[in-house]
Structure 1
Amino acid sequence: MKILVPVKRVVDANVKVSVKPDQSGVDLTSVKMSMNPFDEIAVEEAVRLKEAGVATEVIAVSVGVAQAQETLRSALAIGADRAILVESKDGVEPLAVAKILKALVDREQPQLIILGKQAIDNDSNQTGQMLAALAGLPQATFASKLVVADGKATVSREVDGGAETLSLTLPAVVTTDLRLNEPRYVTLPNIMKAKKKPLEIVKAEDLGVDVTPRLKTLKVVEPPKRSAGVKVADVQALIEKLKIEAKVL
């Protein structure tokens, strides 16, 4: 069984970002970039399935600039077998990414596509669902447990009312939640091995996909700073403030 895992290069989760002076976007100058945390979980799950003998090959895919090769090498170090970079400018929108992935699904014919549920830079939470729709595949989002056996994927997911279990006939699309697993620590020997694993580079136009943006960012601003709290003398004063000022009672 072949598993396809898309990964995205994003600003490292531990970095505090700042907005450009002209408010056109986030300033990425000299900012540390890493693999999207949800995608890291997806790679880990795919590699675990391979280690369990369920899968035979794990393919990591990324869409973006040439520097995304570093992100793919990280996926290879975790345990992916080969990688594909679809070279394009930064900021490819979810629909264009889904169309690119659809073209790769048609070419590679994977039995399972595992994606992070969303990227931490734009929080769109759209690519997995769009890919499933374009490819006509069953989908299960926000997976907290995944079991693959007998041509089916059984996915447990948390919903507002509790827990839900879905059974999907393969091929299928699954997006990962934080509770699915904890990614392994990548060792130096595996990082060295990743440098020798195959990494193919193609262009978006080679796949017949137009990545022209459909959306225009008008302005990016930082969230307003939180105002300082106040101390109250007693419970009665607190209740009055909640009633009169906050209007939550």
Structure 2
Amino acid sequence: MNILVCVKYVPDATADRTFEDDGTVDRVGVDGLLSELDEYAVEQALQLKEKGEDITVTALCVGPEKAVDAVRKALQMGVDQGIHVVDDAIAGSDYAATSLVLAKAVEKVAGDGGVDLVMCGMASTDGAAGIIPAMLAERLSWPQVTMASVVETQGDQVRVKRDSDTATEVIGATMPLVLSVTDQSGEARYPSFKGIMAAKKKPLETWSLSDLGVDAGQVGLSVAWTTVEDTTARPPRSAGEVVKDEDGSGAGALTDFLASKKFI
């Protein structure tokens, strides 16, 4: 079985994130990392591999040059091989263009050796839209099962459990399949020292749009369905107001403050 896990390189949420002049997120001048929600997909793929079946797990990432770090993290966790799609024309792509590039990459991998299961996180930690798995399945003409908390396989059959606010569903599907998993599927492992050293010897390919047969005019900011027209920097944090309740007036001062901010 061949499992392909889509991983994304996202800006570190603890860093000061900024926008470029064209309204796109700065992904070069800020520290980045493998999206935490995608780590759950990597973990589930590795758990399937560890059950004794003949499974190869590949990490696929689309992003700038620094995005290769997300693939390396997946390799350190235990993924067998990695693919990084990088091309200047991709910058500024929306979900539609991103799903196109991912689909063409999946098709290329499938043509080389077959893909049985494409796994994704429930969303990325920067965009948080959660629509890439569905768009990818549509482009591939594959069935999809989303928001899985438990994943089991037997032959070409996949059995998943989905938890919602009101019910738990058990769904069966036949591969090939696009599957997304939630952050309730189990904590992702940390790379071990052995895994970090082994990752240096694992194959990692770099592909461009031409390798996928994608025209540069089909991706990028110029064909995006949505654009950011304006941004405003977050104001600097100001010092708080201290109210001393020395004469019993503290409650009134607090009430006045909350009312002035329209909290009450």
TM-score, normalised on structure 2?
Answer: 0.79
In the alignment, the residues of structure 2 paired with residue 91 and residue 72 of structure 1 have an alpha-carbon distance, to the nearest angstrom, of 20
User: In the alignment, which residue of structure 1 is the partner of 2:247?
Assistant: none
In structure 2, relative to structure 1, the CA distance for the partners of 1:55 and 1:220 (3 Å cut) is farther
1:212 to 220, 223, 231: 220
Quote how far apart the aligned CAs of 1:223 are: 6.8
SS of 1:146's equivalent in the other structure is strand
Go from structure 1 to structure 2 and tell me whether the alpha carbon gap of 1:128 and 1:226 turns closer, same or farther (over 3 Å shift).
Answer: farther
Report if aligned partners of 2:118, 2:179 keep a CA contact under 8 Å in 1.
yes
Q: What amino acid does structure 1 have at the position aligned with 2:84?
A: L
Q: Secondary structure at the match of 2:149?
A: strand
User: Partner residue of 2:171?
Assistant: 166
Pairwise mapping of residues 195-234 of structure 1 onto structure 2 (< 5 A)? 195-209=200-214, 210-213=218-221, 214=224, 215-221=226-232
Counterpart amino acid of residue 41 in structure 2:
A
Q: How does 1:137-152 map to 2 (within 5 A)?
A: 137-152=142-157
Q: What do the CA deviations read for 1:129-158 (whole angstroms, capped 9, x no partner)?
A: 001111111111111111111321111112
Give per-residue Cα distances to partners, 1:213-234, cap 9 Å, x unaligned: 313221234578999899867x
Q: Which residue number in structure 2 is paired with residue 49 of structure 1?
A: 48
Residues 170-185 of structure 1: matches in 2 within 5 Å?
170-185=175-190
- Give the CA deviation at 1:190: 1.2
**In structure 2, distance between residues paired with 1:186 and 1:133:** 33
Tell me by how many angstroms 1:25 deviates.
4.7
Give the residue type in structure 2 aligned to 1:217: V
Structure 1 stretch 114-123 or stretch 212-221: which is displaced more? 212-221
Give the number of aligned pairs: 238
In 1: Cα distance, 2:70 partner to 2:56 partner: 19
1:37: which partner in 2? 36
Shift of 1:12: 2.1
- The aligned residue for residue 4 of structure 2 is 4
Aligned to 2:101: 100
Identity %: 33
**Letter aligned with residue 55 of structure 2:** T
Task: Quickly say closer, same or farther: Cα 1:9–1:18, change in 2 above 3 A.
Answer: closer
Shift of 1:112: 0.6
Q: Which residue of 1 is the match for residue 246 of structure 2?
A: none
The one-letter amino acid paired with 1:176 is V
Q: Which amino acid aligns with 2:97?
A: A
Residue 191 of structure 1 pairs with residue 196 of structure 2: yes
Q: 1:59 to 1:208 in 2, by over 3 A?
A: same
Say whether the 8 Å CA contact 1:23–1:219 is kept in structure 2: no
Please report how far the alpha carbon of residue 44 of structure 1 lies from its aligned counterpart in structure 2 after TM superposition.
1.2
For the structure 1 residues 120 and 162, does the alpha-carbon distance in structure 2 shift closer, same or farther, using more than 3 Å as the test? Answer: same
TM-score (norm 1): 0.83
**What amino acid sits opposite 1:132 in the alignment?**
A
- The letter for the 1-side match of 2:34 is M
Q: Is the 8 A contact 2:93 2:219 kept in 1?
A: yes
